[in-house]
Amino acid sequence: MRFLNIDIPQGATILNAKITFICRSADSLTEVNTKIQAAAEDNPGNPSSAEDYLTRPKTEATVNWDNIPPWEAEATYDSPDIKQVIQEVINRPTWEPGNALLIFWHDLDDRSTHNTGTERVPYSYNGKPIKAAILTVEYSIAPPVVGRSYGYITA
């Protein structure tokens, strides 16, 4: 999932972050175990192929989203807090406000069972933009440090 125009200053402290999904189709099995990571890149583009997706550099920070319960069609679901994933990207020395952020939500470690219904299918921007995933990030910026210097006149 690529989120555009992330207007967070480099080095801001991420307090909370989540992705909100709207379910496109109901799924009945519960053994879904996934991970959330981000592309370890500044302003990444969309993956151009499956190979590009699989080989993109990913953040070391990872959030497991395990035992995801069944989803009901048209219901809204929030990811766990992914602040450490976002923080790693925002802390990159060349991060700039307005960059894009590419999020990977996957089971590349193959921790889920493989039965019909073990996937969770949210709407995509390409499928229905108004129901696409939303990234919400709360952050703080350290107040500027005011320094003072005093000089004394001596005789």
Q: What is the pLDDT along the chain (155 residues), one digit of tens a residue?
A: 999 999 999 989 999 999 999 888 887 666 788 899 999 999 999 999 999 988 999 999 999 999 888 888 898 999 999 999 999 999 999 999 999 999 998 877 767 666 655 667 766 777 788 888 999 999 999 776 666 655 555 54
Residue 151 lies in a domain: no
Q: For the chain, what is the domain count? A: 1
Range of the domain at 37: 2-140
- Which among 122, 21, 24, 125 is positioned nearest to 73, based on CA atoms? 24
Distance of CA 113 to the CA centre of its chain: 24
Q: Is 51 exposed, middle or buried (0-12, 13-18, 19+ CB in 10 A)?
A: exposed
- Which among 59, 12, 54 is positioned nearest to 36, based on CA atoms? 59
- Model-wide pTM > 0.75: yes
Residue 147 lies in a domain: no
Residue 62 lies in a domain: yes
Predicted pLDDT of residue 107: 74
- Tokens 């390409």 correspond to 126
Residue 150 lies in a domain: no
Predicted pLDDT of residue 151: 56
Residue 57 lies in a domain: yes
